[in-house]
Structure 1
Amino acid sequence: MGGRRRGPVARLSRPAREYDVLRRHQLLRVRGRSVAWVPPLVVLVAITVVDFNTAGEFRMISWVVLVPGIAAAICGVWGTAVFAVLALVTYFVADTSYPSRYESSLPDFILVALGGILAVLACAVRVRGERHMLHMRDVAETTRRTVLRPLPADWGGLDHAAVYLSSDVEARVGGDFYDVQQGLHGTRVLVGDVQGKGLGAVEAAAALLGTFREAAYHEAIGTVAERLELRIHRHGLHLTALGRDDSDRFATAVLIGFPEDAPGVVDVVVFGHEPPLAVGPDGVRQLPVDTGLPLGLGELSDDGPPPVQRVPLAPTETLLITTDGVTEARDAEDRFYPLAAEVAAAVAADPLAAEPRRLVAYVRDGTLRHSGGHLADDTTVFAVRRSTPGNGRKGRLQS
């Protein structure tokens, strides 16, 4: 539910810079061994060869100052230092091999030496920045996986799959959340999206998930809905007491219960979210449920949390729930991604496309294709249905 980044961008977003770093490291390795030393060495040899094969009046050997600069961009600090020394030695040997009338002046020698020193310093700054960036990436990934815990296959008697995609805006982590919790009254599923981005949204998502995991085990689904509303309200009060200015967050969510005593139905509570799509061999339909206010805005209504609504669900139907990254994905002509129509076409062509693992993969690929890979928000695609011998036992699709 974070905003779209608009206007000119003066620098790459953090995820883009991280991607460039990782991509560069991959390109500079062959069979697991680094080949980052090859480009600066080739340039050094090329400059030396050209210099020895041109007239004395046309001196190119001073161009070796470029070699440590190239090394600084792709090699480590020690590798850059080696090339800085090699460039200086090569310059000295090549320069002294010419007749005295063709020898370069002392300023050129100082230029090559100074260029090597600056290249080593620049490389040290670059390596330190890359290490910090990759460390922060690992921290963000660990934080996300702590909130979105791995779900065992066939957890709670459900065949499920999920995929999470980080958007290309500045913050890497967002407020998308999902979980499956089995309990005394059946298995419950919660999928939602906290307003905003960054660690504040992650805090709110973690608070809601903690409450869900505890309440969904013990309580009836209506009580779980009440606990979720109360939890985000208490979370806001806590932030207000701390003097934070992000205490008014809200979250859209879908709470689904799979009762053990009624296999042909599901109980659904919708907090300001798009109702789930039921996807099956016979087509795609939106669950006929009413939508209440988002979590955190319940005080605006005198009726309390949205009601629990029981709706039929065939054993062959899969529930598909997505967050804003899918519903707000736009193409070059600013058209929204036609989720229901795309999924309906896929199921019509192949009824097995309704299987959760294949379904989330199809929606993920379709969203990226439609948006050209530029997501307006963090994207979660979650698909779930009851496990039966015919449905198989598929696990969570890793993002």
Structure 2
Amino acid sequence: MTEMEYERERQPLRFHGRSVAWVPSLLLYIGILLVDFHTTERFRIISWIVLVPGTAAAICGVWTTGGFAVLAVVTYVVVDSTWPGEYQAGLGDFVLVALGGVLATMAAAVRERKERQTLRIMHIAETTRRTVLRPLPARWAGLEHAGVYLAADVDARVGGDFYDIQPGPYGTRVLVGDVQGKGLGAVEAAAALLGTFREAGYHERDLATVAERLETRMLRHRDHGVALGHDDGDRFATAVLIGFPVDAADVVDTVNFGHEPPLAVGPRGVRELPSGDGLPIGMSELGAGPPPVHRVPLAADETLLLVTDGVTEARDRAGEFYPLARDITAMATAEPDLRAEPRRLVRRVRDGVLRHSRGRLGDDTTVFAVRRLAGPEGEGPDRAVCGPEARVCRRSGYGAGWKS
């Protein structure tokens, strides 16, 4: 990270783009001088000037702190020498001020080093998040979507929740899920599942086959982790796999791996799609394989709302869970013209969860809303047009092929 990038990220007390972190230390310096000047020899506080570099060490850079340290020593010598000998603070306080300045400068250097390390870690976490949860166009592959991800660990910025959209020759597929556990192990599992989804969601004709590929990938990933000595023997993931078939505009195919059931929000209210009747990904040995594929109606004016358990299990001070369905139903009643807009839905749930939990998230929280683009928008340049025999999809309106 360059010095300019570091200063821009650190943002220490700025006013109109300029740093004013030195102002508190300067005001303290002036205050000590005025008090010492206007008091008698019975109340000498010039040695308090050691607080000036100490304050600067907490909010200023190394050079600024060093400058205040030198200024404190010089000021102490000048002010103390103007008093008669019997009232001078003496050598002991001089050593205190000088040593305090040196220690303050060293503390500022250590603080800046730690801040740089923290910012590097945050940049790495952000890069990891963008790799796992790749940025998606708001209108893509005939769909409009909005999503928000809130990590329970605000410093890490990344966790086990995941979502993605993958267009392909057999329709557009959507995956939203939550890996059991936290930490890098959960992130690795989420990345593995997303990688498989992006390939299988494009190449496989049947949604059931995509589900089987996800199950197989989770088992392989878990076995690999165990072989390396990682504690991943019981790792699993809940998820919802949704297919928007190219041959039917009024239905969707869903596979629910023990996840929160999606909600369909539209002019006729809020309804729940098939619930998690299957086992989570990675637990097929406890059942008869991946969950079944359900084909359910979805009108053109309905939006699918998918959340992870960070939403439904958010608690208030009384221990009550966040009432997701009730909140969305209230919104649909109060704002009929905007009830199915993905951005509005996501914003409503995000704000509701944070308000309900008072900002104390106990788990990673993901809110994702998606709907078909209607009319000319659905046929515009952002729609993926794929034929069953196509090796790549292309954007209608453009001649160049593209892969995703």
TM-score scaled by length of structure 1: 0.90
Is structure 2 residue 47 aligned with structure 1 residue 59? Answer: no
Letter in 1 for 2:181: G
- 1:234 alignment partner, one of 220, 244, 249: 220
- What pairs with 1:79-158 in structure 2 (closer than 5 Å)? 79-158=64-143
Aligned-pair CA distance for 1:85:
0.5
With over 3 angstroms needed to count, the CA separation of the structure-2 counterparts of 1:208 and 1:34, relative to structure 1, is same
Q: What is the distance in 2 between the residues matched to 1:386 and 1:262? A: 12
Q: What is the distance in 1 between the residues matched to 2:347 and 2:294? A: 29
Report the RMSD for the aligned CA atoms in angstroms.
2.0
Alpha-carbon contact 2:256-2:276 (below 8 Å) kept: yes
Aligned-pair CA distance for 1:171:
4.9
Alpha-carbon contact 1:172-1:198 (below 8 Å) kept: no
With over 3 angstroms needed to count, the CA separation of the structure-2 counterparts of 1:324 and 1:217, relative to structure 1, is same
- 1:173 alignment partner, one of 133, 137, 158: 158
- 1:248 alignment partner, one of 202, 225, 234: 234
Q: What is the distance in 1 between the residues matched to 2:368 and 2:279? A: 21
More deviation in 225-234 or 49-58?
A: 49-58
Alpha-carbon contact 2:263-2:273 (below 8 Å) kept: yes
Q: What is the distance in 2 between the residues matched to 1:151 and 1:59? A: 65
Is structure 2 residue 203 aligned with structure 1 residue 218? Answer: yes
- 2:310 alignment partner, one of 305, 325, 328: 325
Question: CA offsets per residue over residues 141-198 of structure 1, 9 Å max, x none?
Answer: 1100111001123211111110111214775421110000011110000000001111
Show the counterpart of 1:295: 281
Show the counterpart of 2:14: 29
SS in 2 for 1:178: strand
Letter in 2 for 1:150: P
Is structure 2 residue 245 aligned with structure 1 residue 281? Answer: no
Is structure 2 residue 348 aligned with structure 1 residue 355? Answer: no
Q: What is the distance in 2 between the residues matched to 1:24 and 1:194? A: 31
Letter in 1 for 2:115: E
Question: CA offsets per residue over residues 314-363 of structure 1, 9 Å max, x none?
Answer: 11111000012111111111110000000000011012132101110111
Alpha-carbon contact 1:163-1:360 (below 8 Å) kept: yes
Alpha-carbon contact 1:277-1:284 (below 8 Å) kept: yes
SS in 2 for 1:174: coil
Q: What is the distance in 1 between the residues matched to 2:170 and 2:264? A: 22
Q: What is the distance in 2 between the residues matched to 1:107 and 1:390? A: 82
Q: What is the distance in 1 between the residues matched to 2:98 and 2:339? A: 64
Q: What is the distance in 2 between the residues matched to 1:223 and 1:127? A: 52
Q: What is the distance in 2 between the residues matched to 1:62 and 1:353? A: 66
SS in 1 for 2:116: helix
Is structure 2 residue 131 aligned with structure 1 residue 162? Answer: no
Q: What is the distance in 1 between the residues matched to 2:77 and 2:9? A: 33
Alpha-carbon contact 1:319-1:385 (below 8 Å) kept: yes
Q: What is the distance in 2 between the residues matched to 1:193 and 1:241? A: 23
Alpha-carbon contact 2:22-2:60 (below 8 Å) kept: yes
Q: What is the distance in 2 between the residues matched to 1:300 and 1:103? A: 84
With over 3 angstroms needed to count, the CA separation of the structure-2 counterparts of 1:22 and 1:304, relative to structure 1, is farther
Alpha-carbon contact 1:173-1:197 (below 8 Å) kept: no
Letter in 2 for 1:60: I
With over 3 angstroms needed to count, the CA separation of the structure-2 counterparts of 1:170 and 1:131, relative to structure 1, is closer
With over 3 angstroms needed to count, the CA separation of the structure-2 counterparts of 1:134 and 1:64, relative to structure 1, is same
Alpha-carbon contact 1:289-1:309 (below 8 Å) kept: no
With over 3 angstroms needed to count, the CA separation of the structure-2 counterparts of 1:169 and 1:334, relative to structure 1, is farther
Is structure 2 residue 329 aligned with structure 1 residue 344? Answer: yes
Q: What is the distance in 1 between the residues matched to 2:355 and 2:112? A: 34
Q: What is the distance in 1 between the residues matched to 2:7 and 2:94? A: 36
Question: CA offsets per residue over residues 98-118 of structure 1, 9 Å max, x none?
Answer: 111211121100000111111
Alpha-carbon contact 2:244-2:253 (below 8 Å) kept: yes
With over 3 angstroms needed to count, the CA separation of the structure-2 counterparts of 1:169 and 1:45, relative to structure 1, is closer
SS in 2 for 1:141: helix
With over 3 angstroms needed to count, the CA separation of the structure-2 counterparts of 1:25 and 1:237, relative to structure 1, is closer
With over 3 angstroms needed to count, the CA separation of the structure-2 counterparts of 1:103 and 1:53, relative to structure 1, is same
SS in 2 for 1:63: helix
Q: What is the distance in 2 between the residues matched to 1:294 and 1:22? A: 45
Q: What is the distance in 2 between the residues matched to 1:110 and 1:27? A: 30
Q: What is the distance in 2 between the residues matched to 1:389 and 1:100? A: 92
- 1:40 alignment partner, one of 13, 25, 31: 25
